[in-house]
Homo-oligomer: A and B are copies of this chain.
Amino acid sequence: MKIIVDAFGGDNAPLEILKGSEWAVKELGIDILLVGDTEKIKSCSSENGISLDRMEIKQADDIIAVEDEPKEILRHKSESSMAIALKALSSGEGDAMVSAGSTGALLMGGTFLVKRIKGVRRPAIASVIPGTSNPFLLADCGANVECHPQMLLQFGEMGSIYMKNILGVQNPRIGLANIGVEETKGTDLQISSYELLKESSLNFTGNIEMRDIASGLCDVVVADGWTGNTILKMYEGVASALLHEIKAIFMKNAVSKLSYLGIKGGMSDFKKKMDYKEYGGAPLIGLRKNVIKAHGSCDARAFKNAIRQAVQCVNEDLVADIEKNITVTKNGENEND
């Protein structure tokens, strides 16, 4: 098993990426193909005592920045570490690819360099989110700002396969994010998607109201990219603002600081449960090979977990399973087939 790593993606590259890769080699017994500036990779490794055992380096002269337009990965940034890593994946130099770089560029590069699975209309960015009762997959998280119903059906199908294969959930419950539970709620998109999901072979449990999403009443929450991104960012934003406020309450005075000791264990378990870093990164589902987007600000542990997730996707044959089970509609062929 060989995982291709974009060594120059993300806020903490290359240091945390290299540390995470070293950790993954040790923990998972895999090989890694690092893509990026060879000299910088070597000097960063030696300065920080990182072993490059079981890792090869593939030279890339350029870097794609977060502020670069996504399409630049196909144009002026076609020699960036991300572009070269994706091309290496496409030509079979490794089994999966992990990057903490620009989501837009990774999506654009994934779609055009790695290409979609036959019949998949659009790849989705999926995220495993730690709900309070169980983790759930949200798809799409922002790859496709505007969607049509067949895309939402496919997000549900791909999400269901992901949760079954990677998280071991039997018969995943699929919910459609909506502003009410009734079939007639939402815009035309939700109303038509509801019909398609209901008629599918998925375990579709109907609309899930936004206020219930955090509790994890579903295993897969289906949404267009605009709504999914809103859900994801509201989730992160509200959780972070509230925890910040609660922390301030504990830090107020000596008594409150002392009180913290009594619940420190519980809070630490809770934080671990709610920590996205435990789940690795966001898979780009629907591509011919597995591409994992690690969080832009990920540290070594989160990056290592994203590599672990990539390994699982390969081991569980995610791509083949999606190819076999996706509903291909009459107009569902994509241009690269």
13 contacts between A and B (CB under 8 A): A145-B179, A177-B230, A179-B229, A179-B233, A187-B226, A210-B229, A211-B236, A212-B237, A230-B234, A256-B266, A258-B262, A259-B259, A259-B263
CA distance A38 to B240 in the complex (A): 49
Q: Does A132 interact with chain B (Cβ within 8 Å)?
A: yes
Q: Does chain B have a CB within 8 A of A72?
A: no
Is A112 positioned at the interface, with any CB of B under 8 Å from its CB? no
Measured between beta carbons, the chain B residues less than 8 angstroms from A249 are 263, 266-267, 270
Q: Which residues of B contact A241 (CB under 8 A)?
A: 131-132, 214-215
User: What CA separation (Å) do A241 and B255 show in the bound complex?
Assistant: 27
B227 in contact with A211 (CB, 8 Å): no
Q: How many copies does the complex hold?
A: 2
> Is residue A296 within 8 Å, beta carbon to beta carbon, of the partner chain?
no
Closest to A223 in B: B230
The contact string, 1 if C-beta is below 8 Å from chain B, for chain A 193-235, is: 0000000000000000111111100000000001101111111
Q: Cβ of A214 and Cβ of B238 under 8 Å apart?
A: yes
A255 to B262, CA, bound (A): 6
In the complex, whether A47 has a CB less than 8 A from a CB of chain B is: no
Measured CB to CB, the closest approach of chain B to A320, in angstroms, equals 32
Contact status B132-A245, CB under 8 Å: yes
Q: Bound complex: CA of A140 vs CA of B261, how far in Å?
A: 43
Partner of A238, one of B145, B238, B256: B238
Q: How far is the CA of A249 from the CA of B260 in the complex (A)?
A: 11
Tell whether A123 is near chain B: CB-to-CB under 8 Å. Answer: no
